[in-house]
Each structure stands twice: as structure tokens, then as C-alpha cells.
Amino acid sequence: MARKVTARRVWVSTAAAWLFGFLIFLPILWMVLTSFKTELEAFSMPPKFLLFHWTTENYATVQERSDYFHHAVNSLLIAGGSTLIAMIIAIPAAWSMAFAPTRRTKDILLWMLSTKMMPSVGVLLPIYLIYRDFGLLDRRAGLVMILCLGNLPIVIWMLFTYFKEIPKDILEAARMDGATIGRELVYVLTPMAIPGLASTLLLNFILAWNEAFWTLNLSTSDAAPLTVFIASYSSPEGLFWAKLSAASTLAIAPIIILGWFTQRQLVRGLTFGAVK
Amino acid sequence: MGQITLQGVRKSFGPVNIIKDANLDIENGSFVVFVGPSGCGKTTLLRLIAGLEDVTGGQILIDGRNVVGVPPAKRGLSMVFQSYALYPHMSVRGNIAFGLKMAGLPRSDIDRKVEAAAATLNLTPYLDRKPRELSGGQRQRVAIGRAIVREPKAFLFDEPLSNLDAALRVQMRMEVAKLQKQLATTAIYVTHDQVEAMTMADKIVVLNAGNIEQYGSPLELYERPANLFVAGFIGSPKMNFVPGEVAGEPSVATLGVRPEHLKIGKEGEGWPGTVSVAEHLGSDTFLYVDAGKLGLLTARCIGEFNFKAGDRIWLSPDPARLHRFDKDGVVIRT
């Protein structure tokens, strides 16, 4: 029997949902608004919501003082590179664990996940020293490597669960139909796994793009991605709220646009298999 | 051609022996059903023949050629899976054509064969649909279409009807049997449903705990079961078993009599008992009779018999239809 829903109830819950959504969105909105204020107005009490002197000077200053595009390209290369390498390692790894599991497969998966349970800061010092001695500090390659390794467990886990969802019968049917391993991969497995592959790729890219701990600690200028670009506006000389906001808006814009256009794929990938 | 012979086939997973020394001769064009309780190894045996599992020992011959070590696709067999195992991202046409495409047939041949298979199975209007847009029965037909289009030496069916509802199952049962006769291709069919086995098979293989208990035509198994297991497994309701001593035949360990071979009388002769439950199915009535030392017996009579719980009755077995078993459960032939 369907539950009875009164019009009042619908109205109340809709309003509550909008309010909740707005609360979550508020910090981002406030940041965007602040980026169009002058530094003085950014501090003003009580804060001004919309009636302030709109200006784009922060954006001009930010671009002038520190090269946005340099950092954006770094972010793109680091997030893209680490995602690509992670996928190349994770696909065959997840594949073999899903389709040819051994007695130890569960243990290996747990062990990989356990590496994510340790706080990163716990290994900051040894990693920093290793990077220093190998000349990897402030190098894009170094950041690609650390982000790739950091996300690898999650990527393998995600892919493993997607591959697990593919019924074994279908692969056996393909084998009976005369498909070689290669053709099975191309014609049957990959098309069936595409939603999972796509959402894993997207999520990993977003995680890598937003990663701040390692990027802040292991890079300064040459390899610095947008996270460092943002952080540079919170300096010992003081906080520049408006400029910081402008820098942040610029930094998160690409990822928000990416998320916006791929949200269907993301949601579908993350709920894959939940509802048949 | 599709003659399949198993010689001393064994399969173990680690220390567990799933199939223990299976020997079988399946004639070309026959419909053979593997039946047995769950876990008896029937599906494993089918997968060994298909090549989806490797044998631990013994030989599998298809048309006289040993195929042990030959990959599934090269054995010339096709399989219908319990879950249908259709390729979800391909249309019905793509599903049926996949095997032919893998075999590298020219496009025109593929189209012709797919159209022909679809016509046989009444799938022509659905050729461009995806599997998720089809009903269970239609999906099953697509799975069968995928099997027949390759013109295999034999079809392997792994409980193909168990996901369908009862009415559709009866209908598909007939269709599959008819199709097999029409194509005259060897078929091996796995099921746990003895009614499916009895109605479809030319010959039945009864499996239990990895052993082939008996191999014969449905009526042979019904009339002359080789041992206690087959006697109890084939036939519904189950055969009654009575200890020989209690039944007055101390030379046999167990005496078996089918419910339909017990004559029911209101007085006088045979084994006395009390009706504990009477199931009226319309055409038949099943009586569950508490027969004291003989235990609980089942008797089957025509529907008009008007017995009810608590009635005192006498059961007399048809002497020509008694099955006698020794202490190892093997039938005693006289």
C-alpha cells in the first residue's frame, strides 16, 4: 500500500529540503560573493549580502600577482596524470581479483584499504625526506606519484565492486560463444563496465584535484597546483579575504563545472548495482 | 553428429570429490537429463562437458575425439544458462549473432542465420530490443536462439526453466522438447525437477553425491529402480519404504511400494492404518496413513474416494509392483 502523503507534508518537506540544500550551498555562495567585494567590504560588520560595491579587481589582482593558468595547468596535469596511472594499475588488479580470486584476495583488499586508515601526516616526514633526497620536491612527477598511490586503494576497491557485479555466467556465455580473452574484454566486459569505469575515473580526478595535504607540503611554485595557489592568499602578512575568495572561486570553478556535467554519470556509478 | 562419451571422469575441488568416476554414453540426437538433489554434482558434470571446468581425471569424448584440454568454444557445444546470461548491452540480434561473429562468418550469412533462428523462436518482432525490454520467457528464447544459431553438436541446458513461473515453465518445457526433436541435435539438460526430467528425457541420469546412480529411460527408472536412492527420487509422491522384517519378508532389508500401487480397502486385507491427512487434489487423493509399526505410508487413489482423517483403512500392495532392496540399498532382482 502506498503511504498517504498530505499536501501540507509535501510542502513542509520540500521547504525543509530546500533550506538544507541552501545551508550546504551557503559557504560557496558566500565565497563567490566575497570575491566581488573590496577587501574593506569583505570585513564589514554586519556583512553585506548583495548590496555592496561589485568589483572584479580581485580577479585582476590575483591573476597579476600569481599566474592562475600556470597553477591550473599543474592541477590538470597532476590530477589527470595520477588518475590515468591509477586506472592503468587498478583495472587489471581489480579485474584479476574479481574474476580469478584466490584464498588471499579478501586479505589483499583489506590490506590495501588499511593503508588509507593511517593519517597522512604520520608519514609526512619520511616521505618528505625521501622526496628531498630523490629530488622530487616541487616536481609534478612527484605529486603525480604520491596522489596516484594515495588514491589507488579506493580506485581498486571501486572497480573491484563494479566488476564483481558483472555476472560470471555472461563471461562464460561469451567463452562458449568462442570469444577469446581479448574479445571478451572488448565486446563484453568493457561495454558492461563503462558506467563503473567512468564514475571511478571522475571521482578519482576530483579527489586528486582537491587534494591539499601532499600538494601543499611537497610543492612550492614550479609544480604547485591550485591548492597552493589558494593557500598563498592566507599569508603571514594577513588574510586577504576578497582575494582569497577570488582565488578559491577560480580554483574550484573547473571541478564544479566538470561535476555539473557529469553528475548523472557520477550518481549512476556510485549507486551501481544498488538497484537492479 | 553429437555422440558424447564420458570415461572415468573425476572432478575434485581441493579435497572434495564432486564427481567420482562418471561413465556415460550419450547417443547422437538423444535428449538426456541429469537429475538429482542440489549439490549432487549435476551442474559440475555439465560444466565439465562444456569445458568451463577442467576434469581432474578421465576422458570426455565428443564424436570419438578426446576434448579434455580443448577450450569450450572449440568443442562445438552451446549452452543455455539458468540466468540466461544475455549480453545486456546488445540487442537480441546482437546476442544471437555474437557466436557467429566470433567465428568470423560473413555478414550476410550471419544475418540469414539470425533471422532464421528468430523466426523459429517467434522472436522476429523483438530483434532490435535490448534484453531488459523483454519478459522472462522471451529472454529464455533469446538464450535458446543464441544456442541453436551456431548449429552445435549438442546443446547443454543448465536448469534453464527454473527462473520462469509455473505456467510458462510447462509451456517452455514442451517447446524445448519439440525444438530438440525438430533439430535432432543431442541435448543434455540439467534439472532438479523430476517432473521435468520424466517429461522431457529420452534417458535420465540420476546423480547423487557425485555418483551416477542409474542411467535409463524414464519408465525404466520408474519401473525398475536400481537402488533405494533412485526409487525414492523418481516418482511423486515418493515411494513408501518399509523394513522387510516388519512387512513379513525377513530376507529383504527394505520393501518399497509406490503410493499408486497400494490398494485401499475399508476392511479386511493387508496393512491396517489410520488416515492422518487426506489431500484432495480433484483428480487424485493422497492419503497419509499412520500404519503403526510400518510407519507413515502414502497412498494414492482416484479423486472420488471419500476418505477423511481418522478413518480406519487397510492397504494391500500389488505383489507384482513390490521393490525389494538388500541391506546396501541395491535392488534384488528375482
Q: Are residues B189 and B44 in the same domain?
A: yes
Q: How many CA atoms lie within 13 A of B182 on its CB side?
A: 10
State how far the Cα of B109 lies from the Cα of B114, in Å rounded to an integer. 8
Shortest Cα–Cα distance, B74 to chain A (Å): 7
Grid coordinates belonging to A148: 596516484
Write the DSSP symbol of residue A185: I
Chain B residue with CA closest to A183: the answer is B102
Q: Measure CB to CB from residue B102 to each of A169, A177, A191 and give the nearest one.
A: A177
> What residues in A contact B103, CB-CB < 8 Å?
178
Rounded to a whole number of angstroms, the distance from the CA of B33 to the nearest CA of chain A is 20
Nearest CA in chain A to B78: A176
Of B52, B85, B103, the CB nearest to A170: B85
Print burial letters for A112-131: b (CB count within 10 Å at least 16), e (below 16). Answer: beeeeeeeeeeeeeebeeeb
Are A35 and A246 in contact by the 8 Å Cβ rule? The answer is yes
Give the C-alpha distances (Å, rounded to integers) separating B205 from B36, B233, B316.
Answer: 8, 12, 32
- For residue B331, is it within any domain? no
Interface membership of B319 toward A (CB under 8 Å): no
Would you give the DSSP letter of residue B304? T
pLDDT band for A221, please (50, 70, 90 cuts): confident
Q: Which residues pair with A38 in a beta bridge?
A: none
Residue/partner pairs of A18-23 with CB below 8 Å, 24 or more apart? none
Q: Are the CB atoms for B262 and B299 separated by under 8 Å? A: yes
**B218 in the same domain as B102:** yes
Tell me: pLDDT of B143 over 90: yes
Q: Which ipTM value was assigned to this complex?
A: 0.82
Is 70 exceeded by the pLDDT of residue A272? no
Measure Cα distances from A83 to A75, A192, B35, B63 in Å.
12, 21, 51, 52
B22 vs B17: CA distance, rounded Å: 12
Residues from chain B that touch A172, judged by Cβ atoms under 8 A, are 52, 72, 79, 81, 85
Alpha-carbon gap: B76 to the closest alpha carbon of chain A (Å): 9
Q: Which residue of B has its CA nearest to A178?
A: B73
| CA–CA separation, A247 and B43 (whole Å) | 64
Closest CA to B163 of B242, B240, B83: B83
Q: Identify the closest residue of chain A to B76 by CA–CA distance.
A: A176
The residues near B152 (Cβ < 8 Å, ≥ 6 apart) are: B2, B76, B77, B78, B185
What DSSP string describes A118-163?
S-GGGGHHHHHHHHHHTT-TT-HHHHHHHHHHHHHHHHHHHHHHHH
Looking at the structure, do residues B131 and B207 belong to the same domain, yes or no? yes
In a domain, B330, yes or no: no
Is the pLDDT assigned to residue B330 strictly greater than 70? yes
Does the predicted model carry a pTM greater than 0.80? no
Are B266 and B224 part of one and the same domain? Answer: no
User: What per-residue confidence (pLDDT) applies to B290?
Assistant: 92
A237 pLDDT higher than 70 = no
Q: What's the CA gap between A96 and A160, in Å, rounded?
A: 9
Residue B334 forms part of a structural domain? no
Asked if B262 and B315 count as a contact pair (C-beta separation under 8 A), the reply is yes
Q: What's the full length of chain A, in residues?
A: 276
Taking the C-alpha atoms of residue B246 and residue B257, their distance in angstroms, rounded to an integer, is 14
Identify whether the C-beta of residue B142 lies closer than 8 Å to the C-beta of residue B88: no
* Statement to judge: residues B204 and B270 lie in one domain: no
Residues B136 and B282 in one domain: no
Cα(A188)–Cα(B242) distance, integer angstroms: 56
Mark whether B131 and B110 lie in a shared domain. Answer: yes
Q: CB-side exposure of B138: number of CA atoms within 13 Å?
A: 18
Owning domain of residue B245: 238-325
For A65-108, how does the pLDDT look when each residue is reduced to its tens digit (9 = 90+)? Answer: 778 888 889 999 999 999 999 999 998 898 889 888 889 989 99
Residue B128 falls within a domain, yes or no?
yes
Between CA A93 and CA A115 the distance in angstroms is 17
Closest CA to A248 of A224, A232, A261: A232
Domain boundaries, chain A: 7-58, 63-270
Contact across the interface for B85 and A173, Cβ inside 8 Å: yes
pLDDT of residue A275: 41
CB contact under 8 A, A176 and B71: no
Co-location of B156 and B21 in the same domain: yes
Residues of B in contact with A177 (CB under 8 A): 73, 78, 98-99, 102, 146, 150
d(CA B72, CA A147): 43
Cis ω on the peptide bond leading into residue A119 (within 30° of 0)?
no
Q: What is the pLDDT of residues A148-168, one digit of tens each?
A: 999 999 999 988 988 888 888
- Are residue B207 and residue B116 in the same domain, yes or no? yes
pLDDT-derived band at B311, boundaries 50, 70, 90: confident
Kindly report the CATH number assigned to the domain that includes residue B275.
2.40.50.140
- B290: helix, coil or strand? strand
Query: Which of A169, A183, A192 shows the shortest C-beta gap to B102?
Result: A183
Q: Does domain A63-270 have CATH number 3.40.50.300?
A: no
Q: Please tell me the least confidently modeled range out of A41-45, A128-132, B23-27.
A: A41-45
Residue at a domain's end among B230, B250, B271: B230
pLDDT in tens, B93-135: 999 999 999 989 999 999 999 999 999 888 999 999 999 889 8
Q: Calculate how close chain B gets to A166, using CA atoms only, in Å.
A: 10
B61 to chain A, any CB pair closer than 8 A? The answer is no
Q: Exposure pattern of A63-76 as b/e (b: 16+ CB <10 Å)?
A: eeebebeebbebbe
Q: Which of B179, B207, B230 is the last residue of a domain?
A: B230
Looking at the DSSP bridge assignments, the partners of residue B34 are: B190, B205
Do residue B223 and residue B262 come from a single domain? no
* CATH number of B90's domain: 3.40.50.300
Cell of A233: 592568499
Mean pLDDT of B9-37: 92
Which is it for the CA torsion B237, B241, B246, B250, positive or negative?
positive
In the chain, the amino acid numbered B27 is E
Domain-embedded: residue B333 = no
Distance CA B6, CA A139 (A): 65
What does the pLDDT read at residue A56? 83
DSSP state of A115: T
Say if the Cβ atoms of B102 and A179 lie within 8 Å. yes
Q: Residues B35, B191: contact at Cβ < 8 Å?
A: yes
**Residue A101's pLDDT is what?**
87
Please tell me the predicted confidence (pLDDT) of residue B306. Answer: 77
Whether B87 and A188 lie within 8 Å, measured CB to CB = yes
pLDDT of residue A273: 46
Q: With 80 as the cut, is the pLDDT of residue A276 above it? A: no
| pLDDT value at B328 more than 70 | yes
Q: What residues of chain A lie within 8 A of the CB of B102, using their CB? A: 177-179, 183
> Is residue B68 domain-shared with residue B203, that is, in the same domain?
yes
Residues of B in contact with A173 (CB under 8 A): 79, 81, 85-87, 146
Interface of B with A in 102-121 (CB under 8 A): 102-103
Mapped onto helix, strand or coil, the DSSP state of residue B45 is helix
Residue scoring higher pLDDT (B168 or A52): B168
Q: Do A169 and B85 touch (CB under 8 A)?
A: yes
- Domain match, B150 and B46 both: yes
Count how many domains chain B has: 2
